[in-house]
Amino acid sequence: MMIAHLADIHLGAKPYQMEFRRKDVFEAFSELVDTIITEKPDLIVVAGDFFDNPRPDNDTLITALRELRRLVDKGFPIVFTYGEHDYPKVRDRIPVELLAESLNSKVYAPPKIAFHEGTPVIDPFIYRMEGLTVYLTPYIKASLEKRREITREIMSIFENDKRSRGGKALVAAHLSFETDFPFGSVLSSPALLPKVDYAAMGHIHRPSICLKDCLDHGITPYAYPGSLEALRKDEIVDEARGYYLVDLSGDEPVIHRVAIRSIRPQYVIESTTERLMNDIGILKRKQGDSWIKMPLVHVELSVPREKRITGRTLNQLVETVKSKYKVYIRIWYKTIEEETHSRSESTILDIKEMVARLIDPSRKKDRGKLFEAASIILELKEALLDGKEEDLENLITKLTGYEKLLLDQEKSPKPLDSYW
């Protein structure tokens, strides 16, 4: 039994009101569908926030219908639970529920949760197929305390159902645990999950897996695939974005990450107006030709409180950098106090450390090469400080061949004063 576990697609999202970012999400979702068709899972589980807005625009609806129909036409069953972004603020029906109806019985999304004499009616939230039961944990529009209370009750009902029926089962839930995410969490601990084979989670936008540690503590193993695209700069991680293929055929789940290649690269750097051109150039050289799309670089721009920079000047700088290095740039201001130490003071400190390394008797045999490397490093620093971009590449090339020598020097030298 192979499950494709998706979450937090946020179809229709338009981060920072950038239209190309909305298209990024559409393209990434289309590639995701391609990979699912190739992988051929037995079931697709979407753990909430399929849409970014409970009233999706026409382009978003057309994209959703087109891509889901591709899956339906190949015979893949799809099960949705929903998150707060899927849930309308008025008494409308949930968009993913309407999508399910417009496709066919292969797609299932539960209605809004109902209550009978104060008890949640959970029959629509138990999806059964041959060899597997899926427990769908609904988003509950209520105060946080009420949501916590009802969710614990629902989990208890699922637990009892699993005990009475047996067989393979998973829970799909769009929520967070207080142990992992203390703010606004619905469950205090993953120990409150029903004892099933796997918990397909959504809501946390950074990918994570709790497998061995959960199994060792008798807790249902769970995972968050993360959002399909990093929608904010604090969501940017080195790990590839995508979804999980989960094999439930054995005694323990086997979780494999499927990476989506069309994700736009994003980076966060700190810089100043004087260093921005050089810093983006360094980033470009580090990445080489690995960029599939023009990256989006979030720049935390340090601006001294005493200095003013006009919007026109900054826009000109950004456009120049964008044109030269083919990147998108988003500026985040970080006001700082003016630095009081002079450039010569910081240079003296660096030279002092270099001298300590050079006169260390244990490194006598490398002294000649170390002098050469120290000289190049000083030139490189001067080029960086003076903004001499044309010198940087030549100096970096000169340093090639000194890597091992310099790394060997990382053993802390004696303080300079100890030689006197």
Segment 355-402, tens digit of pLDDT: 555 555 555 566 666 667 777 777 776 666 555 555 666 666 666 666
Left, alpha or beta for 54 (phi > 0: left; psi -120 to 50: alpha)? alpha
Amino acid identity for residue 22 in this structure? R
Within 10 Å of residue 394's Cβ, how many Cβ atoms? 12
Segment 239-259, tens digit of pLDDT: 889 999 999 999 999 999 999
- pLDDT, the chain, mean: 83
Amino acid identity for residue 263 in this structure? I
Evaluate whether 209 touches 235 at the Cβ level (below 8 Å). no
Domains of the chain, by residue range, sit at 2-259, 266-336, 343-419
CB-based contacts of 386, cutoff 8 Å, min separation 6 = none
Longest CA span, the chain: 86
Q: Which residue has the higher pLDDT, 414 or 202?
A: 202
Helices (H) and strands (E) in the chain, counts: 11, 17
Return the SS3 of 136.
Answer: strand
CA 302 from chain centre, in angstroms, equals: 25
pLDDT grade for 312, boundaries at 50, 70 and 90: confident
Question: What does the alpha-carbon distance between residue 297 and residue 320 come to, in Å, rounded to a whole number?
Answer: 14
Return the SS3 of 34.
Answer: helix
Q: What is the dihedral of CA 335, 339, 343, 345, to 10 degrees?
A: -150
Segment 164-187, tens digit of pLDDT: 988 999 999 999 999 887 778 999
Per-residue pLDDT, 368: 67
Q: In what order do the strands lie in the sheet with 2-6?
A: 107-108, 78-81, 43-47, 2-6, 242-247, 254-259
Nearest to 290 by CA among 232, 256, 240: 240
Residue with tokens 């030689």: 419
Architecture of domain 2-259: 4-Layer Sandwich (3.60)
CB-based contacts of 278, cutoff 8 Å, min separation 6 = 384, 387, 389, 392
Segment 72-126, tens digit of pLDDT: 999 999 999 998 898 887 778 888 888 888 887 789 998 888 888 888 899 999 9
Pairing verdict, β 222-224 and 242-247: unpaired
Return the SS3 of 180.
Answer: coil
Within 10 Å of residue 9's Cβ, how many Cβ atoms? 27
Per-residue pLDDT, 414: 45
Q: Which of 67-81, 194-208, 331-345 has the lowest mean pLDDT?
A: 331-345
Evaluate whether 82 touches 96 at the Cβ level (below 8 Å). yes
- Judged against a pLDDT cut of 60, whether residue 159 lies above it is answered with yes
Q: Nearest-5° angle of CA 69, CA 72, CA 78?
A: 110
Collect contacts of 359-367 with beta carbons under 8 A, ≥24 apart: 359/419, 360/413, 360/414, 363/409, 366/405, 366/408, 366/409
Residue with tokens 């470009």: 284
Within 10 Å of residue 16's Cβ, how many Cβ atoms? 12
Evaluate whether 214 touches 220 at the Cβ level (below 8 Å). yes
- Judged against a pLDDT cut of 90, whether residue 197 lies above it is answered with yes
253-292 b/e with 16+ CB inside 10 Å = b? bebebbebeebbbbbebebbeebbbbbbbbbbeeeeeeee
Question: Mind giving me the DSSP string for 192-241?
Answer: GS-S-SEEEEES-SS-EEE-HHHHHTT---EEE---SS--SGGG--SSPP
Segment 256-277, tens digit of pLDDT: 999 999 999 999 999 988 889 9
Task: Tell me phi and psi for residue 341, to 5 degrees.
Answer: -80, 150
